[in-house]
Amino acid sequence: MKKIELEIIALSDGNSSTNSYAVVLGEKGGNRRLPVIIGAFEAQAIAIELEKMKPARPLTHDLFKNFADAFQLRLEEVVISDLKEGIFYSRLHCRNGSEYHDIDARTSDALALAVRFNCPIFTYEPILDTGGIVFDAEQEEKKSENLVNDPKRAGGFDDKSDAELKKLMDEALLNENYEKAAKLRDELERRNSL
């Protein structure tokens, strides 16, 4: 069966009462999206790596990467291999020299590892047909315009200087509050782009 390459295009808050998040995978060269619901820990692990933030101590996925590197185990690709009753199943395709290993993994963990190993993410047509949605660029552009013009978008940091935000971000990183650190970093970047 032909594999379809995906890339992480968004990570968003899901339902705060269930502490879940959504990672949105986009079909490379296509307009289909595959939203995957993940837990807060995995969302944090993905966000930290995507944003190249350095936690004070290695997270679980960082530890796995360090362990794999120490034993020359290379993650070559992640494949979202199945979708059953709303749950995605994934495989880690690994190589250790001439040995090939196919390892079962939760999709959330597989994605957190994929960003650390900088390896491609794939799925199959039936999974994308069943669990995917078609992206409408015109509709998304309207949403983006609304976000840019939304006065609440600044995140409640209007009364803080850039130096204060930087200090708060450093404190959040030190306390391993990566979600807060990411919000502060986003606000600093938003200000710098104006």
What CATH number corresponds to the domain at position 62? Answer: 3.10.690.10
Query: What total number of domains does the chain contain?
Result: 2
In a domain, 55, yes or no: yes
Structural domain includes residue 22: yes
In terms of domains, do 121 and 161 share one? Answer: no
Q: Do 174 and 113 share a structural domain?
A: no
**Tens of pLDDT, residue by residue, the chain (194 residues):** 899 999 999 888 765 556 788 899 999 999 999 999 998 889 989 999 998 888 888 889 999 999 999 999 999 999 999 999 889 999 999 999 999 999 999 999 999 999 999 999 999 999 999 998 887 765 555 544 444 444 444 456 777 787 887 777 767 666 666 677 777 777 777 777 77
Regarding whether 130 and 160 lie in a shared domain, the answer is no
- Least Cα distance to 49 among 111, 107, 97, 96 occurs for 111
Q: Are 170 and 125 in a shared domain?
A: no
Domain membership flag for residue 145? no
Q: What is the pLDDT of residue 141?
A: 52
Range of the domain at 107: 3-134
Long-range CB pairs of 149-156, under 8 A, 24+ apart, other chains included: 153/190, 154/187, 154/190, 155/183, 155/186, 155/187
Residues 27 and 83 in one domain: yes
- pTM of the predicted model as reported, rounded to 2 decimal places: 0.71
Is 30 part of any domain? yes
